[in-house]
Structure 1
């Protein structure tokens, strides 16, 4: 039986989708931008130990992400194939996410283990909701235009997430911490409670508004659509555009995570004023938001998704090198150069989800079976791998340059942190740029593939 063509998605639903992206990224970014600082400066754990803990916990995170894609692809819950997971997993994730920063336990070791276990459980639950949200991009978008609009709005709200997080989280932590002028355990906990509540509301909103677009499949259809392990592997290894996207997106995340996580140390050690960190992070987030608006409204339409994506790698890499060469002259010079670079950085995020949706179509065209949830879950995989790499790398970098929260600052430490926030991310972006030169899915080619897929589906 031919599948009924879905209605065009409304602006209201697009906005709810964007808000769900905004709040999901806010709580996820707590762990990429601030969790390392929580471990080293609140729990007072050595940087090398912190790096090892992050590698360990984030490896589990990657495993649960892959599991979420497989499970959601093969199951057919009663409230909708994908949207059901928002209802089932997001509330539990919010509770565990709060416990992660509770500093529960009597000793430092117990506190660290409880926090690490909560990290693993939080992201296990979060990943199921996140995979469902990303799969809904395809479910909501009936046309390439709808998907491009959802993708652009996703990038815009993602940039807003950075603005909200970076302008409010650390100030909230410091405010709840009292007059210590440094982050405390209670300060972190109180701020996280607020952010987790804010996270939960639009996830439930997306669950509600996506009802007409994501209904449970008939049993016969659901059984027929289930992918075997071999077919899932083919969706990746017979899909060259997807493999290139996975590498490039990993490079994007490593770069972003290094910059944001090292910024806390940069302003504490190099600038010697932690209160400047929210100003810097907010400034680059605002620049990214403006960049996403321009990219979504003009650049993608004018240059296409691939060329926009390439600019997003090249321009920030150049800016990072310039920041290292000239940013040492003054803090303002450093921040101005970084703001310019991050204006272009969101040129990666703007077309990214739509390009993954294109890879879904290519996989269906090439293999003959659709793996929407599985492939869209892979959109988050580079984020997890990138965070793992950057988290471990940042910890070992801090240890290598001799940083300790309780030790005196030396010129070696200052220089090392300066390079870690500039040259290391620039090198990673260069790798991503080279990979995407080989990406072949143009807008014209995607339209041809989608038409063939529709004909094969009998639509």
Structure 2
């Protein structure tokens, strides 16, 4: 049955307040990999650098190559008992903890161990990406207006960014606790398992919150079944007959790249440029707090300016503060740079919440234009710019350091001007350029305004009345 025929139910207080706890738990879980996977491979599993690099190349490469399929699986499959999207929140997350733990287990033969780690990585990611996409797709079902969508994406963004504040106080102590019980070698396997269980529980909370927002009537008519299920051709139409979506996919790269570049190069900046590595935790804490605040208040900017306009404004603000930091870093206190970069993190938090609402607008536009609701497919495409930005991060950081002939044995006090300039280019200038490009792309190519979204939704509703 077409999900556009769902009962019009206003957003509950639970959704307005707690939608996103699953995303917080999800991000806490994946932080084990983000922070400790390379260290586990080299220091705990004790693989040589070549094998460790091969494992990371295979896992990240396959993960990126199939990142687009999850929405296609959801929209192309038969709806389950609790609906096409909501069902996935309870069907798969419980499988994740065991598979994810395999990614951090050390045992016996290196070759067999490496294969096991690769299987654990790929299987856990494939399993968790489906409910992840279904989770964000439910925004388009529960939200009836642009304001509703901004509310849900803001709450979700704030909870997701909260994980960055919580992980040093949750994930790291948990790993230390398990190291004292089962030994250092498998401490991250236990941590991954426990955080995976917490993720499954929090996704179940989302499952309960969305009760009543998705039509779960059984479709018995063969013709209706075919109309309800998206074919490969339908998906291609919803992508290539959707110019705003194509523009958004490109513009969205800079949002993720900003976060990855500043996160990946910060240690180099504070060590070799500011020459005060002790300030790094202070910067991370302030930046993460402002990211949470930015995500939460994004709905206010969307209400005042519209989601599209606010996203453009904050891409410009991000670029502006980074450019100012690049121009002034050599002549002002490092604390001024921290303030500027933290403003950038606030802007990142705002756009972290706003951009998914723009994808939701693309879902409405696609349904209006093609007659097919492609929530899972379109919302799932957000994985593409994420994976592209991860690949770009590695290339850019490597290129930046190589341009100044960086070696790990350089004394920070003896860092050359060329090295400092290269690091600030990667830390400030390059993400600024990407942010400006995104702002221009949205101005020129994303023409779905708040007023048009309302018109599209009203026409869709009239068709299905």
Could you tell me the TM-score, scaled by structure 2's length? Answer: 0.84
Counterpart for residue 378 of structure 1: 381
Moved more, 224-233 or 186-195: 186-195
- What are the equivalent positions in structure 2 for 1:297-336 lying under 5 Å apart? 297=300, 299-327=301-329, 331-336=334-339
Moved more, 267-276 or 223-232: 267-276
Counterpart for residue 447 of structure 1: 454
Contact residue 320 and residue 338 of structure 1 kept, 8 A: yes
Which sections of structure 2, spanning at least 5 residues, go unmatched?
Answer: none
C-alpha distance in 2 between matches for 1:245 and 1:48 = 37
SS at match of 2:372: coil
The two structures, once aligned, show a CA RMSD in angstroms of 3.4
- What are the equivalent positions in structure 2 for 1:254-333 lying under 5 Å apart? 254-264=257-267, 266=269, 277-297=280-300, 299-327=301-329, 331-333=334-336
C-alpha distance in 1 between matches for 2:62 and 2:164 = 25
SS at match of 1:7: coil
Is 1:352 equivalent to 2:355 in the alignment? yes
CA gap of 1:41–1:428, structure 2 versus 1, over 3 A, is farther
What is the aligned length?
Answer: 450
Contact residue 134 and residue 376 of structure 1 kept, 8 A: yes
- What are the equivalent positions in structure 2 for 1:13-52 lying under 5 Å apart? 13-32=15-34, 35=37
Residue 7 (structure 2) aligned to one of 5, 23, 46: 5
CA gap of 1:88–1:99, structure 2 versus 1, over 3 A, is same
Deviations 1:92-134 (A, max 9, x none): 2232223323345555x77665544433222111111111101
C-alpha distance in 1 between matches for 2:271 and 2:391 = 23
Contact residue 47 and residue 395 of structure 1 kept, 8 A: no
C-alpha distance in 2 between matches for 1:369 and 1:429 = 32
**Deviation of the 1:235 alpha carbon:** 0.5
Contact residue 166 and residue 281 of structure 1 kept, 8 A: no
Counterpart for residue 101 of structure 2: 98
Which sections of structure 1, spanning at least 5 residues, go unmatched?
Answer: 179-183
Counterpart for residue 80 of structure 1: 83
**Deviation of the 1:448 alpha carbon:** 0.6
SS at match of 1:310: helix
Moved more, 407-416 or 276-285: 407-416
C-alpha distance in 2 between matches for 1:113 and 1:408 = 36
Contact residue 46 and residue 404 of structure 1 kept, 8 A: no
Moved more, 55-64 or 223-232: 55-64
SS at match of 2:19: helix
CA gap of 1:144–1:163, structure 2 versus 1, over 3 A, is same
Counterpart for residue 218 of structure 1: 219
Residue 426 (structure 2) aligned to one of 420, 423, 436: 420
Counterpart for residue 341 of structure 1: 344
Contact residue 100 and residue 119 of structure 1 kept, 8 A: yes
Could you tell me the TM-score, scaled by structure 1's length? Answer: 0.85
Is 1:137 equivalent to 2:139 in the alignment? yes
Is 1:123 equivalent to 2:129 in the alignment? no
CA gap of 1:392–1:23, structure 2 versus 1, over 3 A, is farther
**Deviation of the 1:234 alpha carbon:** 1.0
C-alpha distance in 1 between matches for 2:256 and 2:294 = 17
Deviations 1:130-166 (A, max 9, x none): 1110111122223433222212212222222222235
Larger of the two Rg values belongs to structure: 2
Counterpart for residue 181 of structure 1: none
C-alpha distance in 1 between matches for 2:170 and 2:282 = 10
C-alpha distance in 2 between matches for 1:50 and 1:431 = 35
CA gap of 1:277–1:189, structure 2 versus 1, over 3 A, is farther
Moved more, 354-363 or 160-169: 160-169
**Deviation of the 1:247 alpha carbon:** 0.9
C-alpha distance in 2 between matches for 1:38 and 1:323 = 35
C-alpha distance in 2 between matches for 1:267 and 1:32 = 20
Deviations 1:379-413 (A, max 9, x none): 233222222332454356556655666x4556269
